[in-house]
Amino acid sequence: MPFDRSARLDALARHLPFGVDDFDAARDTFVTWRRTGAEADRQTAQLWAYCYVVWYFYGKFARERTGGPSDLDGVIERACRRTFRSMESVRDPERFPQFVSVVCRNVLLSYRARRRPTVEMDDHLVPVAASEADGLDRVLVRRLIVRAIGALPPAISEVARMRLLEGRSYQDVAQATGHPLATTRTYYSKALARLRADPDLRALHPDGPLVGADDDSSKAETGGVRSARP
């Protein structure tokens, strides 16, 4: 693999008081800094964001093979610069991890758009389609789905949790909840409609729904969350 992120990321992450995948801690640190202005919290929030950016782009470049080290360093620098200069103006501090993820996604899309004409001339460098959720992205998406499900009305939240997070069939859900099968399907459809309209989920993946499957065999790779189908 031409891009080994482990050494660089480990060197950075050992200075964090929490893991790179601990989005709750990153959010809380950022919220505290915005409330108190404590320099230590600002530095920790910046370090976490930098670690996430490094993780994100090393993974994308290794999988897609779309550029060299100079390109990689360039997109990391752009994403970090955009993140750091916007930290004081993030409208909802509670969504700081989502904000950083969206910055990374936008920088990557801009890089792909600029590079596409030259990439397509080299069979060895044609980008492959990115998965909807990968690594830490997938962890973040799952956290957002769990939170969004918890905010639904109780009846449809229970059905969505069993279907999306536990991967249970309609029959199992209907039996567990005591709802008729038709009602269970209706509740699930209502839950999906609300989740697909969730602003955090749409911000991360505006080009398609993150959740939703009508059959009982299409589980995603991560923890029972079902993959999107058009």
Rounded to an integer, what is the distance from CA 129 to the centroid of its chain? 16
Distance CA 168, CA 26 (A): 32
With contact defined as beta carbons under 8 Å apart, do 21 and 136 qualify? yes
With contact defined as beta carbons under 8 Å apart, do 93 and 34 qualify? yes
Residue ranges covered by each domain of the chain: 6-119, 131-230
Q: Full-prediction pTM beyond 0.85?
A: no
Q: 131-230, what's its fold?
A: Arc Repressor Mutant, subunit A (1.10.10)
Each residue's pLDDT, cut to its tens digit, for the chain (230 residues) gives 445 556 667 777 888 999 888 999 999 999 999 999 999 999 999 999 999 998 888 888 877 666 677 888 899 999 999 999 999 999 999 999 999 999 999 999 898 888 754 433 333 333 333 443 355 666 677 777 888 898 899 989 999 999 988 888 999 999 999 999 999 999 999 998 888 888 777 766 555 445 554 444 334 333 444 433 32
Torsion (CA) 82, 7, 96, 200 in degrees, nearest 10: 100
